[in-house]
């Protein structure tokens, strides 16, 4: 037991290396921009003040959203998704998968789950010993099930999911703005220093070029680093904006969620505006701030495609309640979820992505399940 514990401790320590690296780069960029560029290189006071004010705005928002992503604890399923003690003992005693599935189906009737594994079975995590809510997956790195899991990001040493996905998208946005602002404002000085580097004697340097000082290295390297990070972050940020617009996670983009009638990659799509609202909230003044404002509870999600499920019961058209075997589902919609169930819910994706054997209805608040 001791060696395995030591290994886990080493793994936890090593997992912080990417975070430490990012913070060291950011600290150096702060010194290079504020001290070496603005103080030692720029002679115009007005230009210095403007550069420093805008820089600190982007820097503060970047650091705020980055650390919110890091420290936000991934949301995990509640105890109600764990098997009752008696059913758990029966499940562990059964040797046949079919018999185990019957036990899971009996428990799942009382839970708001509507998606399946690729083979149509109830999704169950043997590691966490619980029935997985819709869009929940097990993270092997964190060793836990995470609600609406998107991916595990080593650069934040955390799982990106329901509890911090908004923070992660804002972190990408502000890091991109931080890099492009640095690159844009440093460019003219980068050109002057680069020209200077090609001259051996300072006395032969034209008047419009800068003298050869210790700031030269920092300014030159700062432009290269900012441009490199901007290019790499731009593609990742664009991809996640596309995911937000489609109301998908990274996992769902590679493997479509499976419903009773088969996989449907657009099953959670409610239209662009409501997809964005589900992640960023219904108060636009909070969209740009790394404050938690996502809608829902992480267990149930409005969906676009509905068909009567004989095992799970009927789902009412308004999305106000679900019935299971004639009984009202114990999980009513939260007030924030009801905001997603207003008018104009049809999206453009509905026109060309509805399976032929699934009836297109207005969104209903039920949950979906993806195979981990």
Backbone angles phi, psi at 255, to 5 degrees: -140, 110
- Give the pLDDT of residue 245: 95
Backbone angles phi, psi at 354, to 5 degrees: -85, 120
Backbone angles phi, psi at 221, to 5 degrees: -70, -35
What is the reported pTM? 0.79
Q: Give the tens place of pLDDT for each residue, 259-296.
A: 888 899 988 999 999 999 999 999 999 999 999 999 99
Q: Work out whether strand 144-146 and strand 151-153 pair parallel, antiparallel, or are unpaired.
A: unpaired
Q: Which residues contact 152 (CB under 8 A, 6 or more apart)?
A: 139, 141, 142, 158, 159, 160
DSSP run (H or E) holding 329 = none
**Other residues' Cβ atoms within 10 Å of the Cβ of residue 327:** 11
Distances (CA, A) of 198 to 201, 202, 205: 9, 11, 10
R_g (Cα) of the chain, nearest Å: 26
- Give the pLDDT of residue 197: 53
- Catalytic-role residue among 136, 139, 153, 322: 153
Q: Which residues contact 267 (CB under 8 A, 6 or more apart)?
A: 256, 257, 259, 303, 304, 305, 368
Answer left, alpha or beta for residue 361, where phi above 0 means left and psi between -120 and 50 means alpha.
beta
Nearest Cα residue to 298 out of 54, 65, 112, 98:
112
Nearest 10 degrees: CA dihedral of 51, 52, 56, 59? Answer: 60
How many angstroms from the chain centroid is the CA of residue 256?
17
pLDDT in tens, the chain (372 residues): 456 778 778 888 899 999 999 999 999 999 999 999 999 888 889 999 999 999 999 999 999 999 999 999 999 999 999 999 999 999 999 889 899 999 999 999 889 998 999 888 999 999 999 999 999 999 999 989 999 999 999 999 999 999 999 999 999 999 999 999 999 999 988 888 777 654 544 455 554 455 556 778 888 899 999 999 999 999 999 999 999 999 999 999 999 999 888 899 988 999 999 999 999 999 999 999 999 999 999 999 988 754 444 444 444 333 333 333 333 343 433 333 434 444 343 334 444 443 333 333 333 333 333 443
Distances (CA, A) of 177 to 12, 164, 225, 231, 304: 31, 20, 14, 11, 35
As a whole number of angstroms, the distance between CA 39 and CA 30 comes to 12
- Give the pLDDT of residue 210: 54
Answer left, alpha or beta for residue 325, where phi above 0 means left and psi between -120 and 50 means alpha.
left
- Give the pLDDT of residue 190: 87
Backbone angles phi, psi at 88, to 5 degrees: -65, -40
As a whole number of angstroms, the distance between CA 262 and CA 104 comes to 20
Q: Is residue 153 annotated as a catalytic residue, yes or no? A: yes
User: Among positive and negative, which fits the CA dihedral 179, 185, 189, 191?
Assistant: positive
């Amino acid at each position: 037991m001791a060696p395995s514990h030591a290994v886990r401790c080493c793994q936890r320590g090593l997992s912080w290396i990417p975070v430490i690296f990012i913070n060291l780069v950011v600290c150096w960029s702060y010194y290079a921009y504020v001290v070496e560029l603005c103080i030692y290189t720029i002679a115009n006071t007005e230009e210095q003040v403007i550069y420093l004010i805008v820089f600190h705005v982007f820097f503060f928002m970047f650091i705020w959203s980055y650390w919110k992503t890091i420290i936000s604890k991934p949301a995990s399923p509640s105890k109600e998704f764990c098997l009752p003690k008696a059913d758990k003992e029966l499940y562990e005693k059964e040797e046949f998968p079919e018999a185990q599935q019957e036990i899971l189906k009996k428990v799942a009737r009382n839970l708001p789950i509507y998606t399946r594994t690729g083979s149509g079975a109830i999704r169950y995590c043997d590691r966490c010993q619980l029935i997985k809510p819709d869009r929940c997956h097990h993270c092997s790195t964190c060793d836990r099930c995470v609600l609406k899991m998107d991916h595990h990001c080593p650069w934040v040493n955390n799982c990106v999911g329901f509890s911090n996905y908004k923070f992660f998208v804002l972190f990408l946005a502000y890091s991109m703005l931080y890099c492009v602002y640095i690159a844009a404002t440093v460019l003219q000085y980068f050109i002057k220093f680069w020209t200077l580097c090609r001259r051996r004697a300072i006395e032969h340097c034209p008047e419009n070029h800068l003298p050869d000082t210790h700031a030269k290295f920092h300014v030159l390297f700062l432009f290269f680093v900012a441009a490199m990070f901007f290019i790499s972050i731009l593609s990742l940020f664009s991809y996640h904006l596309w995911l937000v617009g489609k109301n998908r996670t990274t996992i769902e983009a590679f493997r479509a969620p499976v419903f009773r009638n088969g996989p449907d990659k657009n099953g959670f799509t409610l239209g662009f505006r409501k997809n964005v609202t589900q992640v960023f909230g219904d108060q636009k003044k909070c969209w740009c701030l790394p404050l938690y404002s996502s809608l829902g509870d992480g267990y149930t999600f409005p969906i676009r495609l509905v068909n009567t499920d004989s095992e799970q019961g009927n789902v009412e058209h308004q999305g106000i309640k679900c019935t299971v075997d004639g009984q009202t589902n114990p999980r009513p919609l939260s007030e924030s979820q009801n905001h997603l169930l207003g008018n104009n819910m049809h999206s453009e994706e509905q026109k060309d992505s509805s399976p032929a054997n699934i009836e297109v209805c207005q969104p209903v608040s039920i949950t979906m399940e993806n195979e981990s």
